[in-house]
Chains A and B, each alone.
Chain A
C-alpha cells in the first residue's frame, strides 16, 4: 500500500540468470539484455551491478517488493527457458516454494508450452493441483530444440487454452519477445492474441509490455477484444527517463482500451516497485498534452496500480482502498476506437489508418 493506493504488482520474477546457471551464450545474452534495460531506464540510485542483477536473494526481493516497495500482492511470472538455463530461469516450482514461505504475499503463475503435447497437458493439470493456478505466463518466443517459437493460434495451443478454461485458470499473460526464429518471422506479431481472445472469450489475455514495440497493433486488437488487457511492465520505467513518452503511452492506452484493462507491473528485478509507484502516484499528463490525452485521476491510478489486477485474481481489497463500482463499460474502449477509426463505414478495414495497423498483424 502506498498512501491510499492498494498495489498489486502483476509482473515480478525471482530468477537465476547467473553464469553458473547459464547453459550457453543465449542464456548469457538474455540476462545481459535484461540488464541493459535495467541500467538504461532505472534512476541511478536504483541501479545494481550485473552480478547483483544476475541472481538476488529472497530476502532482498521481499524487502524490495513489500518492505520498501509498497506491493500488497505480487504475481510471480514463471519463465522457464530451460534450453538456456540449467535449472530454468524461474520455474513454477522455484517461485511456488518461495511463495509458500511468505503466505498472502505472492500469487504464483504457471506456464505451459504447446510443443509438449499430451504429456504437457497432464503436467499442467499436476501443476495446477499443486499450486492452484489462477494464471499462466506464456512466452511464445521460447526456444525448444529446433523450434524457435510458437503461436497462440496453433492447434495445440488451443488444446492448452481449453484446458486452462476447464481448470479455471483464467488469466493468460502473454509475453511477446524478440527471440523468434526463423528469422523471417515477425517476433512481435500480436495477431495470434487476437485469434485466441476471440476463440476463448472467458479467458483474460494480458499482453505484457502492452505490445511494445508495437503499441499500435496491441491497441488495435485490445479495442476490439474486451478480454484483452495491457500489462505495463517495461512501459512503466519511462515515467522516469521519458515522462512525456510515458504520458503518450498511458494516454493512448486509456483512449483505445479503458482504465479497467491496464495493469501495473514492475517486472522486478528489472525495475523496483518503490520508485515506479511513487512516481506514478505523483504523475500527471503534462499540461500541453492534456488537450489530447486528458488527465489521470486518482481513481484511474488506483485501478491501474492494483484494483484491476485484484479483480482478475479475486484478491480482496480493503474496503477503504477500493473505488465504488461505476457503470463503466468494461467491454468497450472509452475511445470507441473502431467506430471512430472506421467512420468511413467500412467496419472491416476500419479506415486506412486502421488497415495500416492491422496489416502489421496480418502477416
Chain B
C-alpha cells in the first residue's frame, strides 16, 4: 500500500496510483501497478494522464483494451477532472486509445464492455480461471491443517487458518457474484464433494500453474523490453510531477 502524503499534488498522485492498483490484468490476475504496466502517471491541474506499456508489441489487444478502459474508469471515479489513458508501443494502440478516449466499447467502440457480450464473456472466463487458481492456492494452504476435511471446511474456518489465501478467494467470488459458505466451491457455488475433489483440484492446479507461469513470463518480457526501471528514458519528462516513479513504495512493489 502507498502511504498517502498529506495534501498537495502528491496526494492526488497517490490517490490516482491507488486507483490504478485496483486495475488488474484480466489474464494474469494481478494489478497493473505490480506488473509494471504503468509507464508514467502525470497530474496536472484538471488532468490526470497515464501511459501504459505492455510486455510485447503483439500482446492480445482484447486484454489491452480492457486494461486501458478499466484504468480510465478507475481514475475517473477516483477524482475530478479529465482523464487520459494512453497505451504505448502496441500494434493496435491507435485504435484502442481512440476507442477508449471516446468512451468506446470494444465491438461497437462504445461502452467499455457492458455493450459487448464477447468482451464481457472474455472477462468472465478469466475471472473464473482466477477463482479456480485462487481456490487451488487456498486448498494447498489448508491441506496440512485440515487433511481429509477439506470439502467440509467453511470459509470462516479457512479465514482463521489461511487468511490471505481465503481473502483472495473471497474477492474473486465477489467479482463473479458467487457465494458459498465453503472454502472450496464449484463454478456455480456448490460444494465440491469429497469424491470429486481430487480430480477437481488436479485440474485447478493446471490452471494455477498456467496463470503463475504467464505472469512470470510477462514480467520477464516487460523487463527485456523496457529495462529494469520499466520506463523508457527517452519518454521521461523531468518536468512532470511523477511521484509514482520515485515513490519508494512503488519500488517496493517492483520485482
Q: Hey, which bits of chain A sit against chain B, CB under 8 A?
A: 25-26, 29-30, 32-33, 36-37, 39-41, 177-188, 212-216, 219-220, 238, 241-242, 245, 248-249, 252, 255-256, 292, 335, 337, 339-344, 351-357, 359-360, 363
Contact = CB atoms under 8 A, between A and B. Distances in A.
A215 B215 CA distance: 13
B254 interface: no
B118 A245 contact: no
B193 A40 contact: no
B56 A178 contact: yes
B92 interface: yes
Contacts of B65: 183
A206 B92 CA distance: 29
Interface stretch (B32-40, B144-152, B205-213): B205-213
A252 B206 contact: yes
B216 A245 contact: yes
A337 B91 CA distance: 38
B224 A36 contact: yes
Given A248-B209, A344-B195, A353 B60 contact: no
A184 B60 contact: no
A343 B195 contact: yes
Contacts of A37: 221
Contacts of B196: 343-344, 351-352
A250 to B, nearest CB: 11
A30 B129 CA distance: 29
Residue of B27, B125, B126, B206 contacting most chain A CB atoms (<10 Å) = B206
A352 B56 contact: no
Find the residue from B96, B116, B119, B205 having the highest chain A CB count within 10 A.
Answer: B205
B206 A186 contact: no
B203 A184 contact: no
A30 B186 CA distance: 40
B58 A252 contact: no
Contacts of A186: 60, 62, 122
A219 B209 CA distance: 12
Interface-central residue, A30, A252, A352, A354, by most chain B CB under 10 Å: A352
Given A36-B221, A186-B60, A363-B125, A256 B206 contact: yes
A14 to B, nearest CB: 22
A360 B211 CA distance: 13
Contact of B200 (A39, A335, A341): A341
11 contacts: A29-B58, A36-B224, A178-B59, A182-B107, A187-B60, A344-B193, A351-B192, A353-B132, A353-B200, A354-B199, A363-B122
Interface residues of B, number: 57
Interface SS of B by simple majority:
helix
A138 B106 CA distance: 28
Given A32-B57, A33-B56, A363-B125, A216 B207 contact: yes
A45 B186 CA distance: 48
A341 B199 contact: yes
Given A184-B119, A352-B186, A357 B207 contact: yes
B204 interface: yes
B217 A215 contact: no
B247 interface: no
A351 B125 contact: no
Contacts of A343: 195-196, 198-199
Contact of A363 (B96, B118, B187): B118
A338 to B, nearest CB: 9
Contacts of A344: 193, 195-196, 199
A146 B194 CA distance: 52
A359 B200 CA distance: 15
A30 B58 contact: yes
A33 B91 CA distance: 11
A238 B213 CA distance: 10
Given A248-B209, A359-B128, A353 B203 contact: yes
Contacts of B186: 351-353, 355
Given A248-B209, A341-B203, A183 B62 contact: yes
B60 A178 contact: yes
A219 B125 contact: no
B209 A215 contact: yes
B234 to A, nearest CB: 16
B121 interface: yes
Contact of A215 (B62, B122, B210, B223): B210
B22 interface: no
A249 B213 contact: yes
Contacts of B107: 182, 184
B160 to A, nearest CB: 25
A36 B225 contact: yes
Contacts of B77: none
A145 B129 CA distance: 34
B202 interface: yes
Contacts of B128: 356, 359
Nearest to A340: B199
Interface string B26-50: 0100000000000000000000000
B201 A353 contact: yes
A344 B194 CA distance: 9
Given A186-B122, A215-B206, A360 B57 contact: no
B132 to A, nearest CB: 5
Contact of B96 (A25, A177, A183, A241): A183
Contact of B224 (A25, A39, A181): A39
Contacts of A292: 205
B126 to A, nearest CB: 8
A180 B206 CA distance: 25
